[in-house]
Amino acid sequence: MRNHSHPEHITNISLNNKASIQAETNLTIIDREFFDYLANHLRDTPYPGVGNYIRYTVARLGLAPLVGVEPLLAEFGPVINDVLSFTYPISIPPCQHHFLANQTIVLLVNSAPGNFDRRKIIRQTWKNHFKAPHIDADRLGIAGFAFVLALTDNNVTQNQIEQEANTHGDMIQIGISDFYRNLSLKVAGLFHWLYSNCARVDFVAKLDDDVYVNVRNLARFVQTYRHQSNQSMFGSAAGNLWPARDGKWNMTFEDWPWNEYPPYFLGPAVLFPSSTILPLLAALQTTPMMPIDDVYYSGMCTEKAGVVLRFSTNSTR
């Protein structure tokens, strides 16, 4: 469960209160001395909730709301991130919606530009298990399938990717650099693509390219939970909720003063209904980004969007 204790010097944000939204906007300017005091006060305290993360990070970075950009959902507060201007140099057609199957699904596989062999293996194995345009009641109609990549600065690799896309027609490339600190931005690009192209599909599976999908088990899972899935996200719980203070994924005490992350999913396989796409994109639009994408989108943005995490252990947030 979320820890809802709050440091006394930070108050909750009421997303339904216009005065609170204006107060949040006003916090884009803050005295540095007060901020240093605040950061020291918060060090090694419990995670205080996404509203206080937003207020803290807006103050820390001096973020101002984007001018002339309307929020997707006004009650989510001022726009911090431009999540509606992504370009897609390579893409697939919008999701199809004419299937006779009970449920339709789009499968998006996160991949790095150079992972040619992983994509080849998936095409030769579990992707082939989805054969028919519509299948019987214990299976799914495939509304779309794509590998999702960012840009590479290697011209040879980019040419190979373009040839691969022309051959297979199953790739989406987001117009951002492929860099591990851009992973949260890549997630935002994926949700923007979904919002623009797949808003009517029943389910979305967000996968990594080292995952093997048991198609029959996936179909049975969706059939079992389709009536319980509204505003839910399914996946495996992360075992470690403590921020690393060194190494590749380190978070400094200034970046993240708290001693824990919110509950979140491990990245390899996540399933969610299309009803969560808009609120999650709105949360991505109004929540300052952090480099650890799993914590960011499945921990904090789901909290802000009111999406319930349903873990494979049958526990929920």
Q: What is the pTM of this model?
A: 0.86
Q: How far apart are CA 309 and CA 235, in angstroms?
A: 8
Q: What is the pLDDT of residues 220-278, one digit of tens each?
A: 888 888 877 789 999 998 877 899 988 888 899 999 999 999 999 987 999 999 999 99
What's residue 101's pLDDT?
62
| Inter-residue contact 146 to 119 (CB < 8 Å) | no
Q: What is the pLDDT of residues 277-305, one digit of tens each?
A: 999 999 999 999 999 999 999 999 999 99
Q: What is the CATH number of the domain that holds 241?
A: 3.90.550
Predicted confidence at residue 216, as pLDDT, reads 86
Q: What is the pLDDT of residue 10?
A: 36
- Mention every residue, 6+ apart, whose C-beta is less than 8 A from residue 136: 101
Q: Quick check: is 44 in a domain? A: yes
Higher pLDDT, 27 or 272: 272
Judged by DSSP in three states, 141 sits in strand
* Residue from 3, 48, 10 nearest 27 by CA: 10
pLDDT of 316 > 50? The answer is: no
Backbone phi and psi for residue 15, each to the nearest 5 degrees, phi listed first: -70, -15
pLDDT at residue 128 tops 80: yes
Same domain, 43 and 188: no
Mean pLDDT of all residues in 36-51: 89
Q: Are residues 52 and 152 in the same domain?
A: no
> What DSSP character marks residue 104?
E
Within-domain flag for 6: no
Cα separation of 214 and 264, whole Å?
Answer: 23
pLDDT at 99 over 90: no
User: Does residue 29 have a pLDDT over 70?
Assistant: no
The answer on 230 and 130 residing in a single domain is: yes
What confidence score (pLDDT) does residue 32 get?
66
Q: What is the pLDDT of residue 81?
A: 98
Is residue 33 included in any domain, yes or no?
A: yes
The confidence score (pLDDT) of residue 137 equals 44
Q: Examine the pLDDT at 78 and tell me if it is beyond 80.
A: yes
Do 247 and 180 belong together in one domain? yes
Do the domain assignments include residue 8? no
Q: Kindly state whether residues 119 and 59 are assigned to the same domain.
A: no
* Secondary structure E strands in the chain: 104-110, 141-151, 171-177, 203-208, 232-235, 269-273, 308-311
Residue span of the structural domain in which 35 resides = 18-76
Q: What is the three-state SS of 193-223? A: HHHHHCCCCCEEEEEECCCCCCHHHHHHHHH
pLDDT band at 310 (very low <50, low <70, confident <90, very high): very high
Does 95 map to a domain? no
133 shares its domain with 254: yes
Question: Where is the domain boundary, 59, 76, 93?
Answer: 76
Q: How far is Cα 63 from Cα 207, in angstroms, rounded to an integer?
A: 32
Residues 157, 260: one domain?
Answer: yes
**Of 56, 76, 96, which marks where a domain is finished?**
76
- The answer to whether residues 109 and 199 belong to one domain is yes
Q: Is the pLDDT of residue 160 over 70?
A: yes
- Cβ-Cβ contacts under 8 Å for 51 (sequence gap 6 or more): 12, 13, 15, 304
Q: Strand pairing partners for 310?
A: 234, 316
- Find the mean pLDDT for residues 8-36: 50
- For residue 277, give Cα distances in angstroms to 41, 82, 119, 230: 36, 16, 25, 11
For residue 228, tell me if it sits in a domain. Answer: yes
Instruction: Out of 147-151, 161-165, 198-202, pick the least confident.
Output: 198-202
The answer to whether 38 and 48 are in contact (CB under 8 A) is no
Report the number of distinct structural domains present in the chain. 2
- Are both 40 and 186 inside the same structural domain? no
- Of 57, 76, 95, which residue sits at a domain end? 76
| Residue 100 pLDDT class (50, 70, 90 cuts) | low
What is the Cα–Cα distance from 134 to 153, expressed in whole angstroms?
A: 40
Residue 72 lies in a domain: yes
Comparing 15-24, 163-172, 198-207, 249-258, the range with the smallest average pLDDT is 15-24
Are 37 and 123 in the same domain? Answer: no
| Same-domain pairing of 72 and 108 | no
User: Residue 314 pLDDT more than 50?
Assistant: no
Residues 72 and 131 in one domain: no
**Residues near 212 by beta carbon (within 8 Å), at least 6 away in sequence:** 125, 126
